[in-house]
């Protein structure tokens, strides 16, 4: 199966109007890439819902799938917004700001980055000194810590930047409570207090805030370029792209991006973000910013290696091409993500424990559950 279009998914996302000559084959590939990358909703929004996007020649059968994807996004967005209301109620007496992060923030602030997005967990950031009280209030209102393994509990609480995930007993929704945006053991140390101090209150709520526009961008790119789990890297890049293209606050965001990144010790992830947003999403970035940020990049050898790794991780494979190179890159990023989060000795110990399965309680895996459910007719 061959196609003359280099990367159908990116082509149609960047320019929906340039699809007049597409056959069913290109559309099929674009949709397969989208499903693989978690971008079906984003593709649907671009082709069906976005009033600013040029019209495309999308076939009817694909249109049904895209409508289905939008239906899922809409249902999930409604659920996330409901959760934020419950959170506002539960944490009303916290006495500290509660900052919504990532998808929940985009939805609550009605940003373009919320469009066509799937939502799962809600992430919030609270000051470290309010963490214990936050956990109590949440428990009182029906959230329960999910992590049963002793090792994982310690891992989260002592070393990471968040509580173990909490699940609401009745609603089944999942909440991640952070006290900073990177672990305290990490090599980069952005100051959470500065982020919280600059956070913007959310109208119509008692305690909820969202990050200031420039901080929201920096958080998004830090989360993407410092993470260990890259399965949704392209989707996160798409979110970041939409944040930066958003008209609201755009001028001041661009001007403040580099100074704020340096203030928060996030210059290296910013460098990667600008580089790959230009390359993949064709985001226009001012030359002076590119030049200034270049000083924060890695050396030439590491730079070449990282370029290859990111080009693999930030792509949606086109079937039937093999995934071996991409899997290698993701494995490298997995180790890197942990390397960035913890000192070497701790890293070795952690990876060994994970590899040997010593951290687990004896439970089935998600894949067994999915198979048993599918066969259960």
Partner 1 sequence: MTLRLSELSLSQTRARLSSAPGLRLRMGPFVAAVQTPLPDVASSIHLLYSGYPLVEEDGFVDFSVSIRRPAGLRRYWNPQVTFGLDGQEPFNPLPGDQGFPLLEWGLNWCVYGMCNQYLILHGAVLERNGRALILPAPSGSGKSTLCAALLFHGWRLLSDELTLICPKTGELVPNPRPVSLKNASIEVISRLEPGIRFGSRIEETTKGTVAHFAAPASALALAHQPALPGWVVLPKYRAGSSTLLQPIEKARSLMHLAENAFNYDIFGREGFEMLADLVDRSDCFTFEYSNLTEAIDLFSRLADGAAAGVAT
Which residues make up the interface to partner 1 (CB under 8 A)? 1, 23-25, 27-28, 31-32, 35-36, 59, 61-62, 64-65, 67-69, 71-72, 75, 78, 317, 319-320, 323, 365, 367-368, 370-372, 374-377
- Residues 200, 212 contacting (CB under 8 angstroms): yes
Measured from the CB atom, is 216 or 318 closer to partner 1? 318
Measured from the CB atom, is 68 or 286 closer to partner 1? 68
Report the nearest approach of partner 1 to the CB of residue 141 (Å).
22
b/e for 233-260, b at 16 or more Cβ within 10 A? bbbbbbbbbbbbebeebeeebeebbbeb
Report the nearest approach of partner 1 to the CB of residue 366 (Å).
9
Report the nearest approach of partner 1 to the CB of residue 148 (Å).
22
- Residues 163, 176 contacting (CB under 8 angstroms): yes
Report the nearest approach of partner 1 to the CB of residue 172 (Å).
10
User: Edge to edge, what strands does the sheet with 122-125 contain?
Assistant: 143-145, 166-168, 174-178, 122-125, 98-101, 208-210, 200-201
Measured from the CB atom, is 40 or 98 closer to partner 1? 40
Report the nearest approach of partner 1 to the CB of residue 40 (Å).
9
Q: Distance between CA 30 and CA 43 in Å, rounded?
A: 9
Measured from the CB atom, is 32 or 187 closer to partner 1? 32
Report the nearest approach of partner 1 to the CB of residue 69 (Å).
8
Q: How far is CA 365 from CA 166, 357, 360, 368, 369, in A?
A: 19, 13, 11, 5, 6
| Residues in the chain, overall count | 377
Provide the β-strand partners of residue 176: 123
Measured from the CB atom, is 17 or 24 closer to partner 1? 24
Question: What does the H/E/C string look like for 104-163?
Answer: HHHHHCCCHHHCCCCCCCEEEECCHHHHHHHHHHHHHCCEEECCCCHHHHHHHHHHCCEC
Measured from the CB atom, is 319 or 343 closer to partner 1? 319
Report the nearest approach of partner 1 to the CB of residue 28 (Å).
5
Report the nearest approach of partner 1 to the CB of residue 55 (Å).
18
Measured from the CB atom, is 146 or 231 closer to partner 1? 231
Other C-beta atoms within 10 Å of 39: how many? 28
Measured from the CB atom, is 77 or 205 closer to partner 1? 77
Measured from the CB atom, is 153 or 311 closer to partner 1? 311
**Residue 7 DSSP label:** -
Q: Distance between CA 33 and CA 38 in Å, rounded?
A: 9
Report the nearest approach of partner 1 to the CB of residue 149 (Å).
21
Q: What is the DSSP string of 182-247?
A: S-TTSS----HHHHHHTPEEPTT-SSEEE--HHHHHHHHHHHHHT-S--TTHHHHHHHHHHHHH-S
Q: Distance between CA 312 and CA 329 in Å, rounded?
A: 6
């Amino acid at each position: 199966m061959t196609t003359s279009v280099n990367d159908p998914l990116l082509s149609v996302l960047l320019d929906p109007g340039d699809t007049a000559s597409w056959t069913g084959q290109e559309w099929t590939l674009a949709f397969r890439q989208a499903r693989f990358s978690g971008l079906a909703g984003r593709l649907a929004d671009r082709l069906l819902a976005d009033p600013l996007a040029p019209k495309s020649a999308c076939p009817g059968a694909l249109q049904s799938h895209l409508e289905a994807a939008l239906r899922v996004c809409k249902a999930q967005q409604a659920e996330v917004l409901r959760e934020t209301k419950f959170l506002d109620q539960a944490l009303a007496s916290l006495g500290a700001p509660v900052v919504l992060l990532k998808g929940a923030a985009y939805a609550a602030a009605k940003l373009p980055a919320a469009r066509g997005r799937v939502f799962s967990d809600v992430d919030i950031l609270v000051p470290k000194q309010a963490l214990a009280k936050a956990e109590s209030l949440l428990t009182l209102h029906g959230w329960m810590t999910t992590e049963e393994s002793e090792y994982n509990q310690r891992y989260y609480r002592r070393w990471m930047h968040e509580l173990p995930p909490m699940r609401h007993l009745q609603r089944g929704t999942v909440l991640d409570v952070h006290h900073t945006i990177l672990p305290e053991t990490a090599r980069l140390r952005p100051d959470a207090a500065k982020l919280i101090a600059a956070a913007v209150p959310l109208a119509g709520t008692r305690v909820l805030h969202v990050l200031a526009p420039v901080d929201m961008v920096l958080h998004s790119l830090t989360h993407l370029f410092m993470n260990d789990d890259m399965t949704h890297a392209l989707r996160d890049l798409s979110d970041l792209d939409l944040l930066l293209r958003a008209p609201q606050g755009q001028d001041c965001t661009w001007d403040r991006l580099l100074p704020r990144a340096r203030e928060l010790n996030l210059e290296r992830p910013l460098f990667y973000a600008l580089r790959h947003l230009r390359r993949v999403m064709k985001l226009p970035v001012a030359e002076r910013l590119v030049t200034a940020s270049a000083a924060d990049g890695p050396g030439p050898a590491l730079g070449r290696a990282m370029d290859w790794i990111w080009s693999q991780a930030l792509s949606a494979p086109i079937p039937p091409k093999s995934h071996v190179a991409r899997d290698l890159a993701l494995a490298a990023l997995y180790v890197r993500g942990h390397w960035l989060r913890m000192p070497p000795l701790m890293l070795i110990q952690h990876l060994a424990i994970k590899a040997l399965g010593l951290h687990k309680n004896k439970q089935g895996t998600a894949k067994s559950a999915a198979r048993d459910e599918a066969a259960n007719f």
